[in-house]
Amino acid sequence: MNPTASPTIFEPARQVPVVRETDVLVCGGGPAGIAAAFTAARAGAKVLLLERHPFLGGVWTAGALTILIDTEHKDGLNCEIRRRLEERGAAVYCKQWPNWPVYGLEAMKTLLDEMIIETGIEVQLYTSVAAVAREGRRVTGVYTESKSGREFIKAKVVIDTTGDGDVAAQAGCAFEYGRPKDGKVQPMTLYGRIGGYTGETVHIQPLLDIARRAGVEPSYGDVTLFPQPGQPGVFMLMATHLYGSGIDVRNLTRAEIQGRAEIRQLVELYRQHAGPAWKDVYLMDTGPFLGIRESRRIRGHHYLTVEELQSNKKFDDGICHVRFMADIHHPDPKEGTGLTHVFFPFYDIPFGCLVARDVDNLMMAGRCISGDHIAFASYRVTGDAVATGEAVGVAAAMCVEQSVDPNALNRPQLLQRLARMRSTEIAAPEPPPTTAPEPAPRKKTTVARKSLSLTP
Ligand SMILES: Cc1cc2nc3c(=O)[nH]c(=O)nc-3n(C[C@H](O)[C@H](O)[C@H](O)COP(=O)(O)OP(=O)(O)OC[C@H]3O[C@@H](n4cnc5c(N)ncnc54)[C@H](O)[C@@H]3O)c2cc1C
């Protein structure tokens, strides 16, 4: 059903309680949102983080993706999360992806809970942002829906880390959706978790071939298994491509049910036909939620294009260094069940991509920042979501200190402060600087560009 063509009904106006007031309001607790919230708090700001799920992590936990890409050359929070997972035996490195940690889902949830307490941010789980209040070119706060009913939260600076750009779209910001030729987006994926597997990590061809020999064509051609650290025999199975919109509730419903059916069928097929390592395999669970790869891309002050990346364009206000290629899962199954890679030189995302063009006190981080369909397919991975989150976190704290909007911030000062925060892994709030800070010496990490075959 097309909602814009539906009949409409008048919803009566009502009184809504203003339950909280904060300096920095972060909407969405995925990799970008947690980075924004933790960093803004560590920079000294009063922060509230809203998340619709009962736990933080976004696709890291709710989407069950289990591997951290484009983090290996980054310091700051990317480095801190990697290190803390490694220290508790919750991150392992497989021979296929020697630089990308595969982590335990429950360990990630636990770590993020610990970091909430350490940073002292306020978090409200089970809370969806339903609407936005706007006065002129400013957002004054958001309306939330939860078991407590409809409520209002006031904020000075708002950060949209919903992945889908829900807040910016509600605020009336311009956005793009899908690829230019037909508006189609990369497919979604539902993961399955299996137990009882006695083989090694398996990637792509063997599992595809086995399914085909049994007369089944998986909707995702590059079938992959990711181990769960510390849980022998437990693996995440990535085997589905579920097409259509991730911001259409009827399509999400259809895709969930189709995804679960397909995973059940594949696990049974592998148990019967894939040999001794599979003979005791069972499906532990699916989900918890569909992983949505692509939805709204909110228009910012800068719009990053594939042409800029291919021509190796340099930016003065780069806040996130990206080394991952564009990795485009085919938006239409007629184009095949795999993906296309587009390569370009390593690049930096300019801060302007994170600042909403149409609302003055709104920033974005993670997959909903401003860029085209192909550029997005590169910076969408979680190492870059975290790094963009850090940048808006520092920027938001500076906006509050200086009573200015993000686009008016002194960008060299922002870059210096960001570099300083990234070079120190700190758990305590950092006092605001009295003068422009000197960046501390940074750890040098060098990583050679890999020949990539992973298909997240
Ligand atoms: C199936 C799949 C596999 C992937 N594989 C990999 C991989 O192996 N490695 C990698 O690094 N990257 C991978 N990616 C990409 C990566 O996971 C995402 O691009 C990344 O999570 C983006 O981070 P984000 O914080 O912007 O968005 P998300 O992770 O989507 O987080 C958004 C958060 O906002 C919350 N939210 C949404 N709307 C609202 C609302 N209205 N109110 C309140 N809260 C809201 C959501 O619940 C969620 O917690 C994969 C993506 C998918 C979908």
Task: List pLDDT tens digits, range 264-312.
Answer: 999 999 999 988 999 999 999 999 999 999 999 999 999 999 999 999 9
Nearest ligand 1 atom to alpha carbon 69? 11
Under 8 Å between Cβ of 97 and 237: no
Distance 27 CA to ligand 1 centre (A): 13
Quote the CA–CA distance of 310 and 328 in Å, as a whole number: 16
Nearest ligand 1 atom to alpha carbon 367? 26
Mean pLDDT value across residues 433-452: 32
Distance 219 CA to ligand 1 centre (A): 21
At 355, is the secondary structure helix, strand, or coil? strand
- C-alpha count within 13 angstroms, C-beta hemisphere, residue 285: 8
Q: What is the pTM of this model?
A: 0.93
Provide the 10 A C-beta neighbour count for residue 314: 10
Asked if residue 398 has pLDDT above 80, the reply is yes
Q: Render the burial of 14-42: b for 16+ CB within 10 Å, e for the rest.
A: eeeeeebebbbbbbbbbbbbbbbbbbbbb
DSSP run (H or E) holding 62: none
Distance 368 CA to ligand 1 centre (A): 10
Q: How confident is the model at residue 45 (pLDDT cuts 50, 70, 90)?
A: very high
End-to-end Cα separation, the chain, in angstroms? 30
Ligand 1 neighbours (beta carbon < 6 A)? 27-33, 50-53, 58-59, 62-63, 65, 67-69, 128-129, 161-164, 166, 189, 291-293, 366-367, 380-383, 385, 456
Q: How confident is the model at residue 208 (pLDDT cuts 50, 70, 90)?
A: confident
